[in-house]
């Protein structure tokens, strides 16, 4: 016959100590993880130059500021400098990033790089920036039917649609 497993009870003092330690380790309600992204800057700095050199970006007018910042990063990487160009664009920096990028001593290059790459990611996802030669991040206009092909279909009346193209029908 199997005996029941022994009951283990944590002493009250140990339980209170563990709860206190967990509360100390848990982030506060106003904790902003963006303050910690700079911890991964070394990794970003290792791979970003190769990625930026390999990809050819274009932007819609709404994301031109982001593309200008990416060009500033490319220039910085090409010159192997850790300093941003004097004319580095800042119009793309969102309110949430302002306190980290702009410091009393000027622009924090690490946060600027991470902010620019983060905004590049957002613009790629939204389609405001595209990569030439990419299938996933291509220009939105490339999804459309070319105007000459559309004109031929319109004249012929043979629309490749499963529904009538006329709302009256």
Is residue 17 situated within a structural domain? Answer: no
Q: What would the two tokens of residue 37 be?
A: 């992204």
Is residue 36 situated within a structural domain? Answer: no
Is residue 89 situated within a structural domain? Answer: yes
Where in the sequence is the domain holding 100, given as residue range(s)? Answer: 47-133
User: What is the reported pLDDT for 151?
Assistant: 86
**b/e code 8-38 from CB counts within 10 Å (16+ = b):** eeeeeeeeeeeeeeeeeeeeeeeeeeeeebe
Is residue 114 situated within a structural domain? Answer: yes
User: What is the reported pLDDT for 83?
Assistant: 82
Q: Please give the model's pTM, rounded to 2 decimal places.
A: 0.70
Is residue 62 situated within a structural domain? Answer: yes
Is residue 122 situated within a structural domain? Answer: yes
pLDDT, tens digit only, all 169 positions of the chain: 666 666 677 888 988 999 899 888 877 766 667 777 878 888 888 899 999 999 999 999 999 999 999 999 998 888 887 888 888 899 999 998 998 899 898 899 999 999 999 999 999 999 999 999 988 888 888 878 888 888 888 888 777 777 776 778 7
Is residue 65 situated within a structural domain? Answer: yes
Looking up tokens 């920036």, which residue turns up? 129
Q: How many domains is the chain built from?
A: 1
Q: Do the Cβ atoms of 119 and 34 come closer than 8 Å?
A: no
User: What is the reported pLDDT for 52?
Assistant: 93
Is residue 22 situated within a structural domain? Answer: no
Q: Do the Cβ atoms of 112 and 88 come closer than 8 Å?
A: yes
For every residue of the chain, which 3-state class applies, written as one string?
A: CCCCCCCCCCCHHHHHHHHHHHHHHCCCCCCCHHHHHHHHHHHHHHHHHHHHHHCCEEECHHHHHHHHHHHHHHHHHHCCCCCCCCCCCCCCCCHHHHHHHEECCEECHHHHHHHHHHHHHHHHHHCCEEECCCCCCCCHHHHCCCHHHHHHHHHHCCCCCCCCCCCCC
């Amino acid at each position: 016959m199997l005996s029941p497993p022994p009951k283990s009870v944590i002493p009250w003092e140990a339980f209170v100590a563990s709860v206190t330690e967990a509360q100390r380790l848990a982030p506060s309600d106003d904790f902003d993880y963006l303050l910690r992204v700079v911890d991964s800057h070394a990794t970003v700095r290792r791979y970003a130059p190769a990625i930026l050199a390999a990809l050819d970006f274009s932007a819609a007018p709404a994301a031109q500021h982001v593309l200008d910042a990416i060009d500033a990063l490319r220039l910085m990487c090409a010159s192997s400098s850790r300093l941003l160009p004097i004319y580095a664009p800042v119009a793309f920096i969102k309110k949430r990033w302002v306190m980290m990028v702009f410091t009393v001593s000027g622009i924090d290059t690490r946060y600027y790089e991470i902010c620019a790459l983060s905004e590049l990611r957002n613009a790629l996802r939204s389609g405001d920036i595209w990569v030439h030669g990419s299938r996933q991040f291509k220009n939105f206009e490339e999804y459309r039917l070319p105007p000459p092909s559309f004109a031929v279909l319109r004249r012929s009346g043979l629309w490749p649609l499963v529904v009538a193209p006329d709302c009256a029908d």
